[in-house]
Structure formats: structure tokens, C-alpha cells
Amino acid sequence: MSRIGKKPVPVPSGVTVTISGQTVEAKGPKGLLSFTATDDVTVAQENGAISVKPRGSSKRARQQWGMSRSMIENLVTGVTTGFKKELEINGVGYRAQMQGNTLKLSLGYSHEVNFEVPNGVTVTTPKLTEIVVEGIDPQLVGQVAANIREWRAPEPYKGKGIKYKDEYIFRKEGKKK
């Protein structure tokens, strides 16, 4: 039994959810998102909440049960509050700034890195060493943050690079003489 799948997803006021077949569509103040569940689960709306039930007791149906419920919860969360990833830049001379739809990164290379921000995501730089990625789609927000981090991942000796704000970098000791 899926502990996650058993819980119904509450639908807050201001959000309209429509279910047509296996497609769940959520519309709220931040936008519109949709998710198509597999045929292994049944999605129903009752008492102001969305419930997901497995069709049968196969392993695949049980796997899809909890995953589908989590995806539907992400739809509702995305259209109400949205998702956010915060990145931090460490290193002398490392900085970031937004220019239009382009994130300009100075990361110790011989050139500036220009990162084009895709549609559906907003990137802001409150400080020169902070980057905030926001959007309604959790997969897209996480992917954009990972792509930015990939330009200079944090290294364990000096801690220089781009890291997530809540990430802990395990520091290593350097060579001994």
C-alpha cells in the first residue's frame, strides 16, 4: 500500500481542476499545468480533493499510484505558490547578473558565460553572488538550476563554484608537506 498514494490532494480555493480521462489540468493564479496519468491508475475528484487509486495490484500499478498522486500535488502547488531554487556563487571575482533574458556569469573563465533563460522560468539576481530560479513547473525549475550549476560545480578544496543555497559541500584537506 502506498502511503503517499492514499492521501487525497486538497484543491485550494482559486484553483480549478478538470479531469478528462487520464488527463488532469490545474488552473490557478500563476498559470495552467496538466499531467496525463498512465492507465494503471484511476483519478477522481470528490469533496474538494483529488484521489488516485490503482487499477489492480500489479507492481507497475502500485508504482504509478504514488507517483501520479505526487505529480498531481505538484500541479496544484505550482499554480498556487510556484517552485523556487536558490543558487549561491562562491569564489573571488565570480558574479552573476541578468541582462534582458540572458544570465551573464563571470566564473573565472577567459570569457563571460551567457545563459539563455527558457520560457516558463524567471531568473533573478538579488545580489551579485545569488541566483533565484522560479517557475510553476518543478521539473523545469530544477533543470534550469542544474544547468546553471553545471557551468562551475563547487569543488571540495576551496569551495569555489555555484552551489544550491541549502547544499553542504564536504571540504577536503589539501596536500601536506
Output the pTM of the full model.
0.86
Domain 83-164 is in which class? alpha beta
Q: Dihedrals φ, ψ of 83, to 5°?
A: -120, 150
Domain map of the chain by residue range?
A: 3-80, 83-164
CATH number of 3-80: 3.90.930.12
For residue 126, count CB atoms less than 10 angstroms from its CB and return exposed for 0-12, middle for 13-18, buried for 19 or more: exposed
In this structure, the number of other CB atoms found within 10 A of the CB of residue 57 comes to 7
Domains 3-80 and 83-164 share a fold: yes
| pLDDT per position as a tens digit, 121-173 | 999 999 999 999 999 999 999 999 999 999 999 999 998 999 999 999 999 99
Per-residue pLDDT tens digits for 115-126: 999 998 999 999
